[in-house]
Structure 1
Amino acid sequence: MYPDLFKGLGLKTKDLSNYDAPLVGFNGRMVTPDGQILLPVNTEGKEVMVNFIVVSSFSPYMAIRGRPWNHAMRVVPSTLHVKVNFYNDHDVTVEPPKGKGTDSAKDLIKVSILPYENRCFYIGTSMKYKDRVNILLLLVQNLEIFAWSPYYVPGVDPEFITHKLNVDPMFPPKKQKLRRSAKQYVEVMKQEVERLKLAGVIKEVYFPKWLSNTMVVKKKNGKWRVCVDFTDLN
C-alpha cells in the first residue's frame, strides 16, 4: 500500500504493526516498509481480510494486491488483457480495467464549450445517445469544478500532492552557472514564470541553496514548454 491510499483511508502510523523485512522495488532499490496492517477488502459482496505492507515510496498505483488475495477470490489476472477473471459457480465473469485499457473508447466526439475557445469535452461514440446527452448536461452544469489549466489550481495543499527531487541528502547541492538564452526564449520564460507565480506554484527566493537553469522546448502543437535542467543537482 502506498501513501496516497494510506492517507485517503484516514489511517495513522499508530495503526501499523511491525514489519522488519526489507522490500526490493521494481527499480532494484531496497525499501524499508513503514509497517503492515490487516484490512477487509470487499469485491462484489465477497469480503477478504488482506494484510497490506505500507511503504513510503512514489508509485502510480494506490496498492498492489498479491497472490493471497487472488487465491482467496479465485481470480485469474491477465496483464495482456488488463483484466481480472472471476470464477463463480456457473461461469466466468470479467472485471473491466480501471481507467485506460483495452475497452477504452477509441472514437471520440469533441464537444466545444461556448464561448470558450480552448475548453471542450470528449465523449465516446460507443455510448447511447441518451447517456451522452445526460453526461454532457451534468458536465456543463458543473463547469466551475474543472481546472482547465494548471494555472487554475492555485495553492494546492502539499498533503494532496508534492513533487520531490530524488537527490542524495549526503551531498551538498550545486548552483549551476547562468546560461544566457536566445532572445526568442526570454519572453516565453518570463510569461511562464509570471503565470506560475500568480498560481502560487513557485515563489521567488534571494539566497538559493541550489540553482538550475531553465530550458525552452517546442511542443508538437507549435507552442513552447519551459523546463528545468535537473541534470546536475548535487
Structure 2
Amino acid sequence: MLVARLLAEVNDCESKRAKGMASPMLGFSDKDKVGTIQPHDDALVVTLRIGGYDMKRVLVDQGSVVEVMYLDLYKGLKLKPEDLTAYDSPLVSFEGKTITPKGQIRLPIQTGLDIVKVDFIVVDAYSPYTAIIARPWFYALGAVSSTLHPKVKYPSEGRVKEVIGDQAMARQYMVSAISRWPNVEPLTPTENGL
C-alpha cells in the first residue's frame, strides 16, 4: 500500500511537471514584423489598462528597473497625495534633470484577462509618455518584448498572447520629446572624452 501511494505521488508530480513544461514558447520571427514599418528605430509604445482605464502612450522599457507614472496620468486617475507612499530615491528625467518623486503607488495593469499589480513611482517631469513599464511588470507577467517587431508576448491560458506596439504613436511622441529639448551645443572631441 505504501508503494502504491508513493507511485501515485510520483505520477502526480510528473503530471504537474509535464504541465509546467507544456507552457508555450515565447519568441519572435519575421511573421511578427508583418504590418510594421521596417527598418525602424522606434520605441515600443503601447496602450495598457492601468488602474481600470485604458492608457495610451505607455513606453515599454525592459531596461528600466522601476515603473514610472507621470503627473498627468496621476491626476487623470484622480489619485490624491494620501494615496502615495514615500519614495525618496531621486530619478533622472529624459531631459537629464534629477527629480525627486512625489511618491509611490501600487496599481493593477490589465493585459487581456491577466492582471499584475506593480509599484509606480510618481514624478512631476515632462515626458511624452503617460507611464513607463519596466522589468517588474515583465517578470510578474512572464513577458518578453521586441522593439524590432514592436510587440510584447506573454503566456496566458496555455497560449501566447500579444500586446502590439503603435509605431505611429511612438514616432509622434519622439518628435514631441525632441522638440522640447533645449538647444545644446555639440560637445567638442575633448569634452566628449575622445
Q: Could you state the TM-score of these two structures normalised by the residue count of structure 2?
A: 0.48
Indicate the structure with greater strand content.
2
Which of structures 1 and 2 has the bigger CA Rg? 1
Higher relative contact order (CA 8 A, sep 6+): 2
Indicate the structure with greater helix content.
2
